Amino acid sequence: MMEEGVTEEARLCFYPFLSAASNYVEALGVTLDDLITAATFERARLRGKERVREAIREGTVRKPVIMSTAQAEMELLSYPFARILVSCIGNAHLVRRYALSEAKSAYNKLLEDSSTGSSAGTDIIYEMAQEFDIQVDFSRLSHMEHAPVQMPFVDYLRFTSNLRDKRWKLVNRGLEKGQVNLRKGEFLRVIQEAIYARISKDLPLDVPGVLCESIRKYTRDIEAELEERRKKFGDSGFETSTGFLVKDPSCFPPCITAILSNLKDGVNVPHTARFAVTAFLLNLGLTVDEIIEIYKNSPDFDEERTRYQVVHIAGAQGSTKYTAPSCSTMRTYGNCVDNDDVCEKVNHPLSYYKRRLKLKQKQKKEQQDKPKEKVEGEK
Ligand code: SF4
């Protein structure tokens, strides 16, 4: 059981990007020096490191069960420490993945909290709206995910510029007297965007080198994990929670690598590019589930819709089985990027892949043959 009176701290530690959470941390009087060096805060530092590792491995940050005020405070303090860690490592992919993982986890927690039917559930939604300065009409708000919410279209536009799915386009929403109609679940999704923007702001922080050096023991482990994954999944390096290894990502054409890299970083990718990468990977033999895993990082990920689209492209419902678009189609939609010398010899991304794979195998064989020739020559 949680200690009496711990509720506020617990609530704040689940949403550590809130102004109230920063104020709480400030009121604790913990200095940066304390957070980095004091033995009392080792628990917060280790949890900060875990936050980053969870983001790398799972794409989410766990919300633990809070049993005491002390634990809630350590959880709260682990957030600024995690921000320092990713800033010291200075890897742009990691920074984006970390920010997106924190935002997604907060969104999931919001969904959970707001569906309990308790007043705390609705309070947190009001608080989020206030925090991000959104004048929302909550008059018909309930614990139901479909409960209607209205928000001013200027605020709506402010936070949805990265959501490319056509259902987010203003023309596809009901607009009444400058207010956009949303379901509660959709409003929370918009809030996730606001949270992501808040968390990403100022990241990476400008942390002095000497300070980064003093926390090497924490960053070293994270860097080792990043390196291990890079080796395992290749330079274009994307991995899924099921841990599948893509055929040979080092031979993917630059257009596909660029799309995958954007998906990995949680950048929104246009439909034509999603179609291209999905068809390409299906043609290579990846399963529907493996491809859905890749999309999980996408900011507007919706498992049901994604599955429907991937299955449709795969042709498992009796529809056409698509092949990946040719280079000329890729060019038409602006998806042909970073082309290299191999591109000049092909007219299809799949041909590029086959050619690069052959070249790689040939080079490998030459390498293997080299020492043999030398030994024979010496005889
Ligand atoms: S030329 Fe073809 S394979 Fe190369 S980047 Fe463009 S679309 Fe991809």
- The H helix count followed by the E strand count for the chain is 17, 3
Residue 141's φ and ψ, nearest 5 degrees, are -70, 140
Asked if pLDDT for residue 210 goes beyond 70, the answer is yes
- Return the domain boundaries, the chain: 1-90+205-229, 115-203, 234-355
Instruction: Please provide the average confidence, as pLDDT, over all residues in the chain.
Output: 83
**How far apart, in whole angstroms, are the C-alpha atoms of residue 104 and residue 17?**
13
Of the candidates 72, 84, 71, 109, the residue with the CA atom closest to the CA atom of residue 32: 84
- Its pTM stands at 0.66
How many angstroms is it from 286 CA to the middle of ligand 1? 20
Determine the residue of 236, 323, 327 to mutate for testing ligand 1's pocket, defined as the one with the most ligand atoms within 8 A of the Cβ atom: 327
Determine the residue of 336, 342, 350, 354 to mutate for testing ligand 1's pocket, defined as the one with the most ligand atoms within 8 A of the Cβ atom: 336
Task: Please indicate whether residue 187 or residue 85 has the higher confidence score (pLDDT).
Answer: 85
Q: Is residue 353 within 8 Å of 345, Cβ to Cβ?
A: no
Which ligand 1 atom is nearest residue 344's CA? 1
Which ligand 1 atom is nearest residue 253's CA? 3
Per-residue confidence (pLDDT) for residue 146, from 0 to 100: 64
What's the token pair of residue 193? 């965007």
> CB within 6 Å of ligand 1 — which residues?
253-255, 327, 330, 336, 339, 343, 346, 349, 352
The CA distances from residue 98 to 102, 104, 112, 271, 308, in Å, are 6, 10, 21, 25, 28
pLDDT digits (tens, 9 = 90+) for 303-341: 888 888 888 888 754 444 678 999 999 999 999 998 899
pLDDT digits (tens, 9 = 90+) for 44-71: 999 999 999 999 888 889 999 898 999 9
pLDDT digits (tens, 9 = 90+) for 264-301: 777 778 889 999 999 998 888 777 877 888 787 676 77
Asked if pLDDT for residue 37 goes beyond 90, the answer is yes
Task: Please indicate whether residue 365 or residue 206 has the higher confidence score (pLDDT).
Answer: 206
